[in-house]
Structure 1
């Protein structure tokens, strides 16, 4: 440290540290008093410039070396906790003393509190790295000289520009964006998006800026407008949207005290307050804020598509052949649909729908040209009441739903460019609307489009292996496009307050009347919207082995056509909520309900509908298949009543019988476990002489192991044995199911052989979602229709040990549990139990049980 003593250098360090701390506090105070993005972005960049230059000079760096700011810092913008990217540019490889000075500088910069991303390269190394890595090439694009050798920097800038292949750069940035979109599920509408990296985030805007700069098309939005790549209005809107996202990221950094770019539930309410957003009668402040975020993200993805095409036309001016005329309104240019005149939509408003129909009908078209997309967006407001009332336009809209291909793709595009929300006014209210029910992971409009996608997949041969029954049913369903109409309207009334099924029913009826659907078809669509939750509720919450439950459900659906339509819609709907909500077990519940109801509607008796006789015969065939001689099952089966055979499948009956046929009166507990098909959980069978608090001990044991109980069937045989069955799932570690089978069998057997205090599951930590959107427990105990049993219904936050808490309270009040229907929707448990007990005949006792359950379910 020849130019400065150690003490002087330490003083320089202290000065830089204090300068940065005071400057950051001053910038934050100024921003909070008068929020302006430049206060932070330019202010912090300038502040960091001063600190770095102070330390650069304190280290007495040689003049032949250049210090460059690169990346966002090179652009002269720094968010509160952004990294500071630096390049130390050398004329030749550094010797020992220079390397030591550079190390001292970098260490000093970290010491004063800067997050440094540094590279030290010669000019040739720099250009070589840029040639090989698009990220390096992009960072260098906005390089700015901070201090040092200006001639070296100028030589770097000239050689970098000469080496830059604009064509390759454009293609690489497009590919980079596609990969980034794939990481974030190709949607800006995630409930916790990343405001920098997600589609529609700041990175999209930055990428547009990089390509424009690389191609010499401009350095800001105004430059692009002057080049007529966007309009002046679009340039102003882009700047406004950019400022909004910059404010979001600035406030996120200040809220969290770190470089946090994810709009987590933890931050959304605070961000809403920071933006001065208030809650409404129907929506939280965070929901209003996020809807605003989604609207802006959507506009960015629109502009991104338009500008990338315009850039492509500038960068590849001779790409593609001559235009091919389709009709008087449209032509094909480079495999893209193009309006023949700028005023096409003004002179022919029906073309606002026709363009999507052409994309469906002409497989050679890969999309729309930029000018068509822009014109589509600018003319969307021409879809008004008069447009919607025009029979020709109504017929066009219906044609969009009846095509053989492209339905989902074009409806997504219609949603993206505001066509859908103008044609269906009710749709406008659900665009970007969040759903804080902890199992929907998409906004309402995106969920509906996912359901439409699922319904379409049922019709496609390439997906038949995934949904063989669905494919067979929908291909045999006359005018299956009616199901697409029902899908569009099933959740369209979400967020209005009240029952969205009934409100949506009115919207669906109006649509069907306006679009001249036949009375029977209209009634089917309206009925589906009104009852789209019914089948899932019956399958997941009621005892579908009870003939009376099947009869009531059959009375609701009335016809096999309705049943098939509801089954298809329910399947598509559940799969469209979240990848985590659907599982094979839920699919089996729906399938069993479908077939039982179908048999009843075809004239079978309730017992035949449930397949009791067939089930026993099928179980016998399975036993013969496994080599067991005829009649071997009778010793066990004579102890089992009809309720057992109704509640278990033929395969389960055969499994139980193979394990128990030679020990129907075993003195020791028998515990067997197996992995379910698809590794979706573990099934456990327990057979033991009935004993006090048996169910409490078993649920406590499973809870202690961290398992959630998806289903429980509790049965007592004629000779006093408990024959219980459980479906278990570990939300956190599905891979270890096969490893825990022996543990479950051995440990549970030992606990049943040597009864002791019940295992008490440890209470798991609440998820972030549950902390911010807590579920208030709800308990209801009502007599069933025959009056022999009671139905206990609960809604609560799901957690391991939930069923143990319920079982413990019931055992204390000497209440017997017959079946448990566990419906886990994300992190929300909606469970139903069939119970009985002498004390339930007393109103006061029911209230006491409900009160104790509510206390246990509070988390």
Structure 2
């Protein structure tokens, strides 16, 4: 055996290389997987014969290898089938065989069993049963293999197998969030992947209905056209999986960002001005996965009907549709041909009849094949336009209707521009959904504002929505707000034109049309103002109030903005951003109500509220005055009343403290810690504070920098660290002590480290930008930076600012997924000279580079 293993291994290597080399020319994944399987068959047969394995035993391929296909780096699962328990001599031969198989370098999964043991294991484990379902004789005793097959299928309970595999499929889908549209899908396990196709063939074979798409079509479970579609989509996904294996050089089924571009290039896709090559590849995958998902639903339902026949007792809903066992069915096969508007009516009826659980396979199939009849004439028909609006205006079932319409390609046919963004990726690193799924998620979020059972999630949004007339208008705006993504140009302006045309064509009122167009055009404006501009500046509020014009526009924009941010990624939204938006809403509402934005009025309001809080804590009358006399208007406008009261309680007796004072508390809004530093102002203070937080791996979400009249820095930071999510309270004392010590005994800050970029940022790098310009009054400069996020980024920026003696007065630090967008209010002599300002900007760009 010592010489046998190298010889067989080399032969296998050459055969595999030849098959893979041929694939480069024919690009047929079925041919490659068959040839790779045949390579292994020949080697295993040679090994079996060279070791003179007993004639009454058999080597059986199981699992995917048994199915007859082998991907470049897939496991090779084999069963060594014995007529009886092995004796000593047989055990030695078996050990030699298994050792040889491993020596060949194959990823072998093996089991050694008798027929009785196979049946016992199969009855106890659905995975073993599934594996044996696809068993295939490689070499050895055909008689023994036939005995296994006969007894296995005789013991098969097709109904029980169906229930087990469909439950397993539901659990797998839940693991992948029940969507084929993940930005990094698993082409084998995700919904719409190869596993869904395998499940169909497993349950069909177990039920004796066939083991190929052609045979299922012959049994009437699918049409010949559907069989061809399934075969085509299966070939597409197999091709992607083959290339994944070859690119990775190992078993890899995840289409992670790192591999999408090289795979796209291998398919011949190229970058264009508006889209990446990887976007074309992923859209092809998503369309294939979507078709698989739809046909999978039809097939599972048809097979279930064969295995669990139920008497059909149609209950007429109207002349076109019936209810059959809780599902909506068509009254006759050509309903959609004779009445095309029924393609929209079916969704409306499902909204109106909540007892309906879905569509019958017959109805889905008919609708799927009739969808191409939704053309320009269909879209111009006033009856169809009225039906579509009614779907959006129904009190219930709106999101389910839109999702079903998207799944069956009806929505994209009715809204051609929506069809263009189905399966389209977004490479801004904070969207975790394709564009169409993000849009539907935003519709979902707006819809939830209307539902009492979800009022606890966003009470303020639910309160506003309860008084909002015609909330369905917001659903229209949500449908169009990102519909122009990927076309090139400003998607807000392009989408605005689409929305305006839709509203006009569907007879919406002038008032509602104007609101929808406004929302689509300005759907990013509120988050931009709240997160990047100084809300304590009355001019900012006045300008935003001029933009929104009235309370209805303001309310609609606020609701859409919250729904939009929440619909990008669970990681993007946090309570701090929510508070910024709500503060902007309330300030703007007062301005729209005739109350001119006034810094003096806002200052008095916050001071009075802070004093009320201080009285509750028993502070003596006038105790605050010594500290407050050292604080200017900017401090009171940039801090909440609760912050003012908290800091006053800490500092009113220590206004002239010699030692640094560091105080922490749990963040009053959201997660994290609020850290206040009070110390005599000193050079590089912001840098040293950032250095401390960088060492502790804390992320700085917000920073308020202030210098008192008596020369003290009063700085407040909002910091988070996921590792301490459940124990922030436990580390408060530690941070207070360590940071105070670091400020009391300053050391030369270490040079910034180039923190490692995340995998996503490496795959889709963000080009750093630096924008430095004076504010309207010319008193300060606004420094805006954008870059890919990494550890120590803010510390790197602080190091450059310290080097140029730039003073920091305020900071807004915003993280959007893998990208940061920070805004700083700064001043300093260096900013008064164009040459030194340019040099500062260059060094900042260098600091932002990964």
Assess, with a 3 A threshold, how the Cα gap between structure 1 residues 411 and 609 changes in structure 2: closer, same or farther. farther
Measure how far apart 1:143 and its partner are.
Answer: 0.8
Segments of 5+ residues of structure 1 without an aligned counterpart are: 1-8
- State the distance in 2 between where 1:110 and 1:326 align: 63
Q: Identify which range, 380-389 or 89-98, moves more after superposition.
A: 89-98
Query: What aligned pairs does 1:359-374 form with structure 2 within 5 A after superposition?
Result: 359-374=350-365
How far, CA to CA, are the matches of 1:102 and 1:457 in structure 2?
A: 62
Whether 1:23 and 2:12 are equivalent positions in the alignment is no
What per-residue deviation string (whole Å, max 9, x for no partner) do you get for residues 445-474 of structure 1?
Answer: 111001011111111122111111111111
Map 1:410-809 → 2, pairs under 5 A: 410-607=401-598, 611-676=602-667, 680-730=671-721, 734-735=725-726, 737-809=728-800
Distance in 1, matches of 2:57 and 2:207, equals 29
Q: Alpha-carbon deviation of 1:779?
A: 1.0
Instruction: Report the 3-state secondary structure (helix = DSSP H, G, I; strand = E; otherwise coil) of the residue aligned with 1:774.
Output: coil
Residue 824 of structure 2 aligns to a residue in which SS?
strand
Runs of at least 5 residues in structure 2 that lack an aligned partner in the other structure: none
Aligned to 1:179: 171
Structure 1 contact 545–610 (Cα < 8 Å) conserved: no
**Deviations 1:263-284, CA, capped at 9 Å, x for gaps:** 1111111111211222233211
User: Shift in Å at residue 800 of structure 1?
Assistant: 2.4
C-alpha distance in 2 between matches for 1:732 and 1:441: 23
Aligned residues: 850
- Contact 2:173/2:191 (8 A) holds in 1: yes
SS in structure 1 opposite 2:348? helix
1:395 matched residue in structure 2: 386
Q: Which residue pairs with 1:194 in the alignment?
A: 186
| Aligned position for 2:848 | 857
2: distance between equivalents of 1:370 and 1:506?
38
TM superposition shift of 1:783? 1.5
Deviation of 1:151 (Å): 2.8
Taking the aligned partners of 1:522 and 1:299, their CA distance within structure 2 comes to 35
In 2, Cα distance between equivalents of 1:98 and 1:469: 75
Q: Distance between the aligned counterparts of 2:93 and 2:589, measured in 1?
A: 82
Distance 1:609 1:451, change over 3 A: farther
Deviations 1:186-218 (A, max 9, x none): 111111111101111111111111111111111
| Superposition pairs of residues 109-120 of structure 1, within 5 angstroms | 109-120=101-112
After superposition, the Cα gap between the structure-2 partners of 1:147 and 1:479, relative to the gap in structure 1 and judged at 3 Å, is same
* In structure 2, distance between residues paired with 1:258 and 1:706: 34
TM-fit CA distance, 1:682: 2.1
Residues 325-372 of structure 1: CA deviation (Å, up to 9, x unaligned): 100000011111111111100100110100000111101101111111
Cα deviation 1:262-314 (Å, max 9, x = unaligned):
11111111111211222233211111111111111111001011111111111
Q: TM-score, normalised by structure 1?
A: 0.96
CA distance 1:559–1:712, change in 2 (3 Å): same
1:710–1:822 contact (8 Å) kept in structure 2? yes
Q: Secondary structure at the match of 1:603?
A: coil
CA–CA separation in structure 2 for the residues paired with 1:135 and 1:356: 38
Out of 819, 822, 828, the position equivalent to 1:831 is 822
Partner Cα separation in structure 2 for residue 605 and residue 737 of structure 1: 41
| 2-structure distance, mates of 1:633, 1:163 | 85
Query: Is the 8 Å Cα contact of residues 599 and 609 (structure 1) preserved in structure 2?
Result: no
832, 846, 849: which one aligns with 1:841: 832
1:284 aligns with 2:284: no
- Contact 1:12-1:54 within 8 A present in 2 as well: no
Partner of 1:66: 58
Q: Map of 1:377-388 to 2, 5 A cutoff?
A: 377-388=368-379
In the TM superposition, residue 170 of structure 1 has moved relative to its aligned partner by 1.1
Q: For each residue in 1:353-407, what CA deviation from the matched residue of structure 2 results, as whole angstroms up to 9, or x when unmatched?
A: 0000011110110111111111111111221111111111111111111112111
Q: 1:298 aligns with which of 287, 290, 304?
A: 290
In structure 2, what is the Cα distance between the partners aligned to 1:507 and 1:38? 43
Question: SS where residue 118 of structure 1 aligns?
Answer: strand
In the alignment, the residues of structure 1 paired with residue 137 and residue 727 of structure 2 have an alpha-carbon distance, to the nearest angstrom, of 55
Sort the Cα spacing of 1:132 and 1:614 in 2 relative to 1 into closer, same or farther, 3 A: farther
Deviation at 1:671, TM superposition (A): 0.9
TM-score by length of 2: 0.97
Give, in whole Å, the separation in 1 of the partners of 2:280 and 2:109.
37
Who is 2:150 aligned against? 158
